[in-house]
Chain A
Amino acid sequence: MSHILQIDQLRKGFGGVQALDGVDFHIDKGEIVSVIGPNGAGKTSFFNTITGYFSPDSGSIVFNGLNIGGHEPHEITGLGIARTFQNVRLFPNMTVLENVMVAQHSRTSTGIFGTLLNTRGFRKEEAEIEERAKEILSFFGQRLKGYRWDQPAFVLSYANRRRLEIARAMGTQPELLLLDEPTAGMNPRETAEMTELIDRLRTERGITVVVIEHEMRVVREVSDRVVVLDHGVKIAEGTYETVSTNPDVIEAYLGRPAEAGSA
């Protein structure tokens, strides 16, 4: 079976900094892969390049057999890759429900004329959009339900903002979901819940997930495979056990014994 996403020799530099320096990567349908690495390793740049925010200097990004390198972000979302942002970026003044509704843009089609004429198709589609948004939010149990639907996103707690960001990404109905540090800033209990949620994304939704994560406990529990980046180079790849004992990885994390230690 061919990989859902296959990346070869991806390079991206900013002036003197080589954020990605020939990265090879692949993921199969239904897999959960973690990307780890010290700060500034190029993890977020990796996501930004896949999702079209950065155009790669060289290398190929093939998603479902299509080279998506250099495509516009909205096209890539349309093809089925969704993402969250490391520094949560919701639409703060839109309601929780609207945040998830607007994400379905590329899966719906009614234009201005349909809206103005209030066609049957428009009404049906609006109802479906709302229905689907509610269904997606119910994936998070009681967290984002009921009275929360009509609250503006900015009143949400930090953990709920992270959840809503995932819900919004799910609204684009992706095959592949890229999560950038989904547990950052969460307390242990919320982290445990998020770990479970990532697993459910695969089992209940059939979404393939790439997750950037600093919390080693989460990495151990969710990932089928771990990829380690350092200075834009992939220095190790494999199961959590093999990677965590790899001397190169330990060296990359040296000076940060806390994280290496928890590994």
Chain B
Amino acid sequence: MMTDSAAPPSKPDVRPMTDVDWEKVLRSGALAGLMLSFIAAIGMVTVLDERTMIDPWLSLGYLALVWVPVFFGFTAASEPTPDGGISPVKGERDLLSGLVTGALAGLCFSFFIVLIDTYDMTDIFSNLLPRLVDLLTFDRGIGVAAAIWIVGCALLGLCGGAAQVVSARVKRMLSWAFVGVAIVAMLEAVIIDLSQGLRVEFVTDFMYAKNGGLTTGAAIILGAIFGAAGFQSSDKTFDQRRQERMSQPKEVLLRKNMVAAGVAILAVIFVPMVVGGLTNELLANVGLFVLLGLGLNIVVGSAGLLDLGYVAFFAVGAYTTAILTSPLSPYWVPELTLDFFSWEDWFWKGWVIVAVVLVMAAISGILVGTPVIRLRGDYLAIVTLGFGEIVRILFLSDWLSPYFGGAQGVTNIPSAAIGPVEIQGTSSQSIFYLTAVFVVIAIYVAWRLQSSRTGRAWSALREDEDVAEAMGINTTAVKLTAFVTGAVLAGFAGMIFAVKVGSVFPISFKLLVSIIILVIVIVGGMGSIAGVIVGAVVLIGVLGGPTQPGLLQEFGQFKLLIYGALLVIMMLKRPEGLWPSVRRQRELRHEELNQDAWLTGTPGTDEEEDDA
């Protein structure tokens, strides 16, 4: 296809040292310096310093800075191959680029430190506290600190540059080691919890320091183990392996999926028994958002309706439960308790409440859905956003406060029970089990609908609404079905939430909740059941929910910043999500595939393969 490939430039064996794109290095260095200063200025370093990752020398605060020179060193050293050109040979220039980028970043940052050390700017930037200066100067003089930052950043930048040079295998080894150690450090609370449950405290006594954080020895050993694993790991990417898995015969795949589901169910049953309250709390929160995510996933992922007012149905479920069960509510039905199962009494009243929640959520889904469903795209998003707020404000209003209690909400929601197990808000373990029941229901619903007449109609709707009409699909009805199904799942989540918290307040149902659920779906992978679970684990488990703390609870006030950053990175680098559905992956890799096909000359007319 390349017409005149007359004289390609002679291929240099090693790029000469001097062949550095100085402009790019300068830009990257300055950017990295700004990034470092930004992270410090917003107070992240000070706050995150509370959390030790590796005792005694690496806190989460420093970690929040350390990645910057490495990353910018890496990108500064990279060189996009011009289309069809010869890929430049990696070499010393990459190292030099990384080194200089890092040094520049260190220089800029030192300047920033000097600045905040000299001038008191706490009036404007409330986070520039003396504590920050102490942290950034390592309690030493400013000159020493500057030297440390410049040399340190240069070395880190060098590491970034080196990552461009070393073989893929070494790169894998290092990244596995780093990520592995980071994850184990992050999971500290859960692992300690687990080891106590299993009565093997001596392991964690060795692994983690008294004041928190991995011990240096444990970090080195873990790094070695993960590094070795990474070195041995196959060079296939996650997606390639997934592709291979998917191309297995259907029966094999089904059997493997069955086994995986079995293992997952056993884990769901037994893990909460072993671990303590803290892990169970995390699990319960994750479960709740998995449930919400699965519901929204049907609306947004399957049917392609961008609903920004999803929290409304969550609120309806919670308030319905509260009003029926709280003795303080005017509509209290004393006969109805949240008993989901009992050997003696065959009338399981809990399910009556579930049924009422289902009906109320469905009705509100129809009420909100009917007027907005004909709108498309952005208009739908804006209008649903409005409706979501209206519902919250109705619950908050004085006008309806005789029923919903206004800002005071409805309190004293009693505990639920599955047989002899009492489900109390205070016992996260029991809440987790209740959540798990409904998550299983939701997974079943989502999975069954996927390959059914309804599911196919949703897909068609998402791909081309006009054509879907021409295929005989009543798009209004089908959209409403998606809306209502999603609403019902959110209603169930609301019911669990009411039991968990023991009271409901309008403040719990802010727009932010809708957005976080949406981010879970997007980051996990739209239209993918596994994706929603992955998304909820990563976002709610690690960073935390709207009010619930996650594993890295120190992030607290920076949670939304990280959410936003994550969303941007995902959109740029992996728009199909962490664990995409097959269809969505196709869709977003669509163009690439077509292009490849064009380059190899396959499509167009199908003359060659016609003669079968």
State the A residues within 8 Å of B (CB): 51-53, 72-74, 77-78, 82-83, 85, 89-94, 98, 101-103, 105-108, 110-112, 115-116, 118, 122, 125-126, 129, 142-143, 152, 154-155, 157-160, 168, 171-172, 186-187, 189-190
Contact = CB atoms under 8 A, between A and B. Distances in A.
A111 B454 contact: yes
Contacts of A102: 456-457, 459-460, 468, 471, 473
B604 interface: yes
Interface in B446-505: 448-449, 452-454, 456-457, 459-460, 463-464, 466-475, 481, 485
A53 B610 CA distance: 35
What interface size band does chain B fall in?
A: 35 or more
A72 B469 contact: yes
Contacts of A107: 472
A172 B472 contact: yes
Given A101-B456, A155-B597, A158-B603, A91 B472 contact: no
**Residue from A72, A85, A93 with most neighbouring chain B CB atoms (10 Å):** A93
Interface stretch (B285-293, B390-398, B506-514, B585-593): B585-593
B58 interface: no
Instruction: List the 4 closest pairs (A to B, CB-CB), nearest first.
Output: A106-B472, A77-B472, A157-B606, A73-B469
A101 B459 CA distance: 12
Given A51-B470, A142-B612, A154 B448 contact: no
Binding site secondary structure of chain B: helix
A105 B610 CA distance: 31
A157 B473 contact: no
A89 B467 contact: yes
A159 B459 contact: no
A91 B448 contact: no
B604 A158 contact: yes
B24 interface: no
Interface in B574-612: 583-584, 586-587, 590, 593-594, 597, 603-607, 610, 612
15 contacts: A51-B470, A53-B470, A77-B471, A82-B470, A92-B587, A93-B459, A93-B584, A94-B583, A102-B456, A116-B444, A118-B448, A155-B597, A155-B603, A157-B606, A172-B472
Contact of A155 (B456, B467, B593): B593
B433 to A, nearest CB: 23
Given A154-B590, A172-B471, A108 B453 contact: yes
Contacts of A172: 471-472
Contacts of A106: 471-473
Nearest to A145: B612
Contact of A122 (B452, B463, B593): B452
Contact of B603 (A152, A157, A187): A157
B148 interface: no
A94 B612 contact: no
A136 B475 CA distance: 24
Given A115-B453, A125-B453, A74 B464 contact: no
Contacts of B471: 74, 77, 102-103, 105-106, 168, 171-172
B255 to A, nearest CB: 19
Interface string B543-585: 0000000000000000000000000000000000000000110
Contacts, number: 126
B20 interface: no
A103 B449 contact: no
Given A74-B473, A158-B604, A94 B459 contact: yes
A98 B472 contact: no
A157 to B, nearest CB: 4
Contacts of B594: 154
A160 B466 contact: no
A91 B453 contact: no
Contacts of A53: 466, 470
A142 B606 CA distance: 12
Contact of A187 (B454, B485, B605): B605
B189 interface: no
A152 B449 contact: no
Contacts of A142: 612
A73 B464 CA distance: 14
A91 B460 contact: yes
Contact of B453 (A110, A143, A159): A110
B485 to A, nearest CB: 7
Contact of A73 (B470, B481, B612): B470
A112 B467 contact: no
Given A93-B590, A105-B457, A126-B452, A159 B463 contact: no
Contacts of B612: 142
A93 B587 contact: yes
A91 B586 contact: no
Nearest to A141: B612
B445 interface: yes
Contact of B475 (A74, A122, A126, A143): A74
Contacts of B463: 91-94
Interface string B97-118: 0000000000000000000000
Nearest to B585: A93
Contacts of B466: 53, 73, 89
A18 to B, nearest CB: 23
B456 A98 contact: yes
Given A157-B606, A158-B603, A74 B452 contact: no
B457 A115 contact: no
Given A93-B587, A102-B459, A83 B469 contact: no
A94 B456 contact: yes
B504 to A, nearest CB: 28
Contacts of B460: 91, 94, 102
A78 B449 contact: no
Contacts of B469: 52, 72-74, 77
Contacts of A74: 469-475
Contacts of B481: 111-112
Nearest to A185: B605
Contacts of A143: 606, 610
Contact of A115 (B449, B470, B584): B449
A171 B459 CA distance: 17
**Residue from B444, B474, B481, B607 with most neighbouring chain A CB atoms (10 Å):** B474
A129 B603 contact: no
Contacts of A110: 452-454
A53 B583 CA distance: 28
A94 B462 CA distance: 11
Nearest to B590: A154
**Residue from A110, A115, A142 with most neighbouring chain B CB atoms (10 Å):** A115
